[in-house]
Structure 1
Amino acid sequence: MIPRISIFIDYQNMHLSALYHFRPPGEGHRLSHVDPVLVADLVAARRRFGGVLTDIRVYRGRPSPDHQPAAAQASDRQAAGWLRDPRLTLVRRQLRYPKDWPVTPAQEKGIDVALAVDFVRLACEGAFDIGVLFSRDTDLIPALEAVRDLGTGGVHVEVATWRGLSRLRYPDSQLPWCHYLDAADYEACRDNTDYTVT
């Protein structure tokens, strides 16, 4: 039986890590996005032991239409493009706006928790055989440990990151297996669409 691969992407973490690591300082965010479908296909294709990519799960914040109507529309246009791929599930939560916004920028809240809950829940439900988590957020390590420790019917856990940056790992370990994507991979997976243009 061919193993089913699900790839869980902490989008803002993946996107901004690549932007600051691979692009010139000061370059804007608009033209340096990453296509999560291309990233997921690349990671799945490079797995030494194969498998079929059945699920791409992307987690990210959404600007509030009340606070940032243009940014919300751009985010929705980007999301609509991603959702053309039937394998993709998009989980969005509205950004939180502090009282002194825009002096203090809006922040994602609850995205890492939503990703962690889904990662563990879907593993326990047997929804995938291989779960790959693309993020550098160490708050997600307990979710990796939970899937490993729960004995979820042979579910295998892997992680992904950009080469030259930190990766998620169990304490005092080189596990789980990590897929490293380099600058050439980033260029191959870049989405240069300006979603602010209607």
Structure 2
Amino acid sequence: MANNVDRVVLFMDYQNVHGWARRQFLPFGSGASNGHVFPLKVGELLTERRQRESDLLEVRVYRGRPNPERQPGAAQANDRQADMWDRSDQVTVVRRNLQYPSDFPASAASEKGIDVAIAVDMIRLGMSGYMDVAVLFSSDNDLMPAVEVLWGMPDCHVEVASWTGAHRIRFSGTQQPWCHHLSEADFRAVQDNYDYSTRV
């Protein structure tokens, strides 16, 4: 650990974080534009709550991007939100194009490759010595292999985060790795209510 201060990187599975926030804290039927959060505020909150002295190096946000030809309004809002986040040099936004089924819009578009992107970056940065602590904010068990790899690294600690009441990633039969449970009050403190359907 550099100078006894933990260098922390937060990895956010954004659609997962957004979806669980809507399910846990918003009324049934709330629009998809609700439930957003400011990634940097989330990173600062998690870093401040660690028992060890910590420095937030970076928040890495992973999410899909709508096709502008198929969903022009959603694509513009997505772009504006990503641009807002990117204004901080502590936030890195990684986007991959959504995949569209042949019967779209009867069937929804879906994210592809996000889990792989998160896992690759967690392992890559863990091996590089860039960070001392990786915090994964997701409830997706498909990311467990990346957590397992970092758990076995002597020089990189791994933690997870989830909304209170949401599924949390853990090793079977244990409470490991350490989980940051964020409450509804925490959600309200980091909530992003900006309307990205209009210009920033």
TM interval, shorter chain, is: over 0.9
Q: Any conservation in 1 of the 2:22–2:34 contact (CA below 8 Å)? A: no
What is residue 155 of structure 1 aligned with on the other side?
156
**SS of alignment partner, residue 82 of structure 1:** helix
What is residue 196 of structure 1 aligned with on the other side?
197
- How far is the alpha carbon of 1:173 from its aligned partner? 1.6
What is residue 125 of structure 2 aligned with on the other side?
122
Q: How many angstroms apart in 2 are the aligned matches of 1:63 and 1:176?
A: 33
- How far is the alpha carbon of 1:69 from its aligned partner? 1.1
The 5-angstrom pairing of residues 67-86 of structure 1 reads: 67-86=70-89
- How far is the alpha carbon of 1:76 from its aligned partner? 0.5
The 5-angstrom pairing of residues 61-100 of structure 1 reads: 61-100=64-103
What is residue 177 of structure 2 aligned with on the other side?
176
Q: Deviations over 1:3-32 (max 9, x none)?
A: 100000000000110011100000102133
- How far is the alpha carbon of 1:126 from its aligned partner? 1.0
TM-score by length of 1: 0.97
Q: How many angstroms apart in 2 are the aligned matches of 1:31 and 1:148?
A: 34
Q: Which runs of 5+ in 2 are unaligned?
A: none
Q: Any conservation in 2 of the 1:31–1:194 contact (CA below 8 Å)? A: no
Q: How many angstroms apart in 2 are the aligned matches of 1:62 and 1:36?
A: 17
Q: Deviations over 1:122-162 (max 9, x none)?
A: 1011110010000000000010001122x3x4211000000
**Runs of 4+ displaced beyond 3 Å:** none
Q: Any conservation in 1 of the 2:9–2:56 contact (CA below 8 Å)? A: yes
Q: Any conservation in 2 of the 1:97–1:106 contact (CA below 8 Å)? A: yes
Q: How many angstroms apart in 1 are the aligned matches of 2:162 and 2:35?
A: 17
What is residue 7 of structure 1 aligned with on the other side?
10
Q: Any conservation in 1 of the 2:12–2:61 contact (CA below 8 Å)? A: yes
- How far is the alpha carbon of 1:197 from its aligned partner? 1.6
The RMSD of aligned alpha carbons is 0.9
TM-score by length of 2: 0.96
